[in-house]
Structures are given as C-alpha cells and as structure tokens.
C-alpha cells in the first residue's frame, strides 16, 4: 500500500473515532442531566413551596375562626341568659360581640381568598406532577436507549483503535509527524480526497501538475491552498 493510501486509511479510521468520541460526549451530557426533567421537577418543587405555607395559613385561620365563633356563642349566652344584669357590663358584652363579628367577617374574607389560592395551587401541582410522571417515564426509556448506544459505541471504538494500530504501522515516521500536525491544524482532517481537480477539504481547484501527481499515488502531495494531504479516490 502506498503512503498516500495508508494515510487515507488512517484518516478514515480517525474520522470514525472522532465521530464516536463526539457522540459519547453528547450521551454523557444527556445522561448527567435532562433539561426537560430538571425543569419539570423544579416546577413541582416550586409549587409545593408555594402551597405549603398557604395550606398552613388556611389551617391557622380556620382554627382562629372556630375560636371566634366559640367566643361569640359564649358571649351571646351571657348576654341573654340573665346571668348579667349590670348595664355597663351588658354594654361591654355587646361591644365585644360587635368587635368579634367584624373580625370574623374580615377573617372569613381572607380565609375564602386563601382557600381559593390553595385550590388553584393544588390544581397546578396536580397538573405539574402528572407532567413530571410523563417526562420521567419517557426519560426512563430514553436513558435505557442511551446506555445501550453508549455500550455499542465503546465496543466499536475499541475495535477501531485496534484497526488504527495496524493502519498506523503502515505509515512512515515522517509522514506520521506530518499527519499529526495537519490533524491538529485542520480540525482533525489531515487527508482530503481530490474530487476532479478540487480539494474536498477546502474546495479549491489544484494545478494540473498537482492533480497528475496525486493520481499517480506514489508520493505525498499536499493541497496548494490548505496544505492537506491529497489522495485520489
């Protein structure tokens, strides 16, 4: 095998390895954190955080309302059962009853508003929880598929690395150095096909002499523009 063809074989293997490494990075990022799942969980937690103090507020106001009702019943009994005959004391009881009634009215208004807010939050939480369950169920299947793909790519990668060792052994030392330099300079693509008289790497037409030399395939020929090693398909 000529050196240009040996380098082209090496390039194809490296290109496949690069693609698998890139996909593995994508898979790892997906496995480490699903944005949709994080958002759904965040929504549920936020609604729970909003709902909890409001439910506590409803409970507290309900107990207070019951206490006010109990006080009103007790004062009303004292007002009308004849046990209090002092006019001033009776007036004080009436004033207290009026005060408690006003307070109860205000309390019941606030309680109704808070109960409505709780109902809305509970409905939103139920909907968000249902959405979270759906996302978790979908993610469970996606995660299993990603794990399978991850294992398959790693297996393929090991086979390609073995194949690369064989391909690399067919390349002369000086050409290895050139290949590695071009790989680092040209986004991983050191070897490009000559399509017609055009370099497939930079899309620049080559001179007639370059085209002839590349097609002979006996020596290393580089693109006159990008410097990549050119090979004939």
How far apart CA 217 and CA 213 sit, in angstroms, is 7
Contact status, residue 197 vs residue 203, Cβ threshold 8 Å = no
pLDDT at residue 138, as a whole number: 85
Is the per-residue pLDDT at 200 higher than 80? yes
pLDDT for position 155: 96
Q: Tens digit of pLDDT for each residue in 178-198? A: 999 999 999 999 999 999 999
The pLDDT of residue 85 is 84
Count of CB atoms within 10 A of residue 126's CB? 11
- Over residues 103-142, the pLDDT tens digits come to 999 999 999 999 999 999 999 999 999 999 999 888 888 8
pLDDT at 79: 84
pLDDT tens readout for residues 63-115: 999 999 999 999 999 888 888 888 898 899 899 999 999 999 999 999 999 99
Distance CA 130, CA 119 (A): 17
Mean pLDDT, to the nearest integer, of 161-170? 96
* The pLDDT of residue 176 is above 90: yes
| 3-state class percentages of the chain: helix first, strand second, coil last, to nearest 5 | 80, 5, 15
Angle between helices 173-185 and 3-32 (to 10 degrees): 40
What is the per-residue pLDDT across 23-36, written as a single tens digit (0 to 9) for each? 999 998 888 778 88
Are the C-beta atoms of 65 and 111 separated by less than 8 Å?
A: yes
Contacts of 224 (CB under 8 A, 6+ apart): 204, 206, 207, 210
Question: What's the N-to-C CA distance of the chain in angstroms?
Answer: 14
| DSSP label at residue 217 | T
pLDDT of residue 54: 95
In order of their start, the domains of the chain are 33-169 (1.10.287.1490), 173-231 (no CATH)
Structure confidence at residue 144 (pLDDT): 87
Q: Six-digit token pair at 100?
A: 């408690």
44, 132 contact by CB (below 8 A): yes
User: CB pairs under 8 A, 24+ apart, for 138-147?
Assistant: 139/34, 139/36, 139/37, 142/30, 142/34, 143/31, 146/27, 146/30, 146/31, 147/31
**Spatial strand order in the sheet of 229-231:** 198-199, 191-195, 229-231
Between CA 135 and CA 30 the distance in angstroms is 14
């Amino acid at each position: 095998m000529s050196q240009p063809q040996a380098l082209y074989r090496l390039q194809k293997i490296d290109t496949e390895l690069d693609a698998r490494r890139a996909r593995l990075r994508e898979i790892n990022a997906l496995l480490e954190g699903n944005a949709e799942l994080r958002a759904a969980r965040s929504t549920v937690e936020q609604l729970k955080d909003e709902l909890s103090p409001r439910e506590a507020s409803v409970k507290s106001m309900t107990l207070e309302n019951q206490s006010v009702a109990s006080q009103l019943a007790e004062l009303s009994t004292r007002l009308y059962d004849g046990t209090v005959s002092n006019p001033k004391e009776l007036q004080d009881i009436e004033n207290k009853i009026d005060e408690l009634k006003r307070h109860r009215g205000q309390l019941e208004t606030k309680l109704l508003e808070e109960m409505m807010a709780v109902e809305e939050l509970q409905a939103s939480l139920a909907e968000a929880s249902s959405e979270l369950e759906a996302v978790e169920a979908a993610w469970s299947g996606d995660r299993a598929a990603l794990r399978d793909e991850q294992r398959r790519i790693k297996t393929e990668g090991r086979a390609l690395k073995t194949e690369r060792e064989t391909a690399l052994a067919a390349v002369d030392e000086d050409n290895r150095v050139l290949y590695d330099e071009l790989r680092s300079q040209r986004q991983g693509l050191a070897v490009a096909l000559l399509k017609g008289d055009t370099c497939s790497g930079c899309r620049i037409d080559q001179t007639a002499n370059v085209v002839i030399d590349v097609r002979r395939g006996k020596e290393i020929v580089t693109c006159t523009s990008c410097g990549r090693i050119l090979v004939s398909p």
